[in-house]
Structure 1
Amino acid sequence: MQTQLAVAAYIIHNNKVLLIHHQKLDLWLPVGGHIDQNETPDDALLREIREEVNLEVEILNKLDLPVEGKTKKNLALPFYTNVHSVGDHDHACFYYVCKVINPEKININQKEIKNFDWFTKEELNQKHISENVRNQALEAFKLFEKLTK
């Protein structure tokens, strides 16, 4: 089976995490999608977030090392990675924690997304949220709290 690189963002604001109800997959998921050719994971993540929910974010967990020599820029560190099936292909996915800059501008791409909601930690226990997404989101909350103290 073909494996494609993908990214996903757990976007946190006011002690809630943003999840989207994916049109094609009929699942509640973090915002994300494929990494295009010649695109860094960070650039893909920012693009997918703009395309799907029209938000600007800060990707957290970036080491602030000096950029020198042949290094062009530093990239954020994913807090989790996995390979999962999306039907006809697999995704090798990098998951990131993000802080939203303009939450009032949210506007979903209705071709890809049925709905969106902001979930508290407690609300993640609802039956329509998969165990994988719940566990990832709870880890994202922990990292967000640590990085934004």
Structure 2
Amino acid sequence: MNFLPEDSDIDYTASALIIQDGEILFIDHEKLGKWLQPGGHIDENETPDQAARREVREETGLEIDFIEGSQPESFSIEEDLPRPFHVNIHRIRDGHLHCDFMYLATVVAEGEATHGHEHSGLKWFSRSELKDEELRMPDNVRRTALKALDENR
């Protein structure tokens, strides 16, 4: 049984909930006007975990390591990829959906963002800040972030 709307078009995306000192990093997404985890579209010939790393680096300048699993350095015959913490499908507009592979990560190095123009700023959010109902953040992102903090104390 297919629960997706007929004739819908799906883009695959990857993102990361970056945890540090009991807080999670979000970007103030310029185009959408919401606080979201760094991430974006998966490019051709790119795995979801590679896309999450690239998008985080481009948007924040941060190099990350995944909390669940590590990325292979090269491909031989078969490789296990890091396991996403959460996978979500959501409507962008009528007929267009995004399926997002969301990873948990930690910061291993800081650099310079090359795509900082895509957001209006970065902020580390605590558990109490994430619970604020007035926060411009999608409910599913808020719930997943709180779950990530609960599971990584």
- The answer to whether structure 1 residue 33 and structure 2 residue 48 are counterparts is no
Who is 1:81 aligned against?
87
Q: Which amino acid aligns with 1:116?
A: L
1:107 CA displacement: 4.5
Paired with 1:47 and 1:108, the residues of 2 have a C-alpha distance of 11
Where structure 2 has 5 or more consecutive residues not aligned to the other structure, the ranges are 1-7
Who is 2:146 aligned against?
138
1:98 CA displacement: 0.3
Percent of paired sites with the same residue: 35
Q: Deviations over 1:111-137 (max 9, x none)?
A: 210111000111102212332221010
Who is 1:48 aligned against?
55
Give matches, 1:92-107, under 5 Å. 92-102=99-109, 105=111, 107=113
Paired with 1:100 and 1:21, the residues of 2 have a C-alpha distance of 19
- The answer to whether structure 1 residue 18 and structure 2 residue 25 are counterparts is yes
Paired with 1:110 and 1:51, the residues of 2 have a C-alpha distance of 7
Q: Which amino acid aligns with 1:144?
A: N
Q: Could you tell me which of 83, 98, 108 is aligned with 1:91? A: 98
Paired with 1:16 and 1:109, the residues of 2 have a C-alpha distance of 23
Where structure 1 has 5 or more consecutive residues not aligned to the other structure, the ranges are none
Q: Which amino acid aligns with 1:86?
A: I
Paired with 2:70 and 2:38, the residues of 1 have a C-alpha distance of 23
What RMSD in Å do the two structures reach over aligned CA positions? 2.5
- The answer to whether structure 1 residue 114 and structure 2 residue 82 are counterparts is no
What's the TM-score once normalised by structure 1's chain length?
Answer: 0.84
What's the TM-score once normalised by structure 2's chain length?
Answer: 0.82
Equivalent residues, number: 142
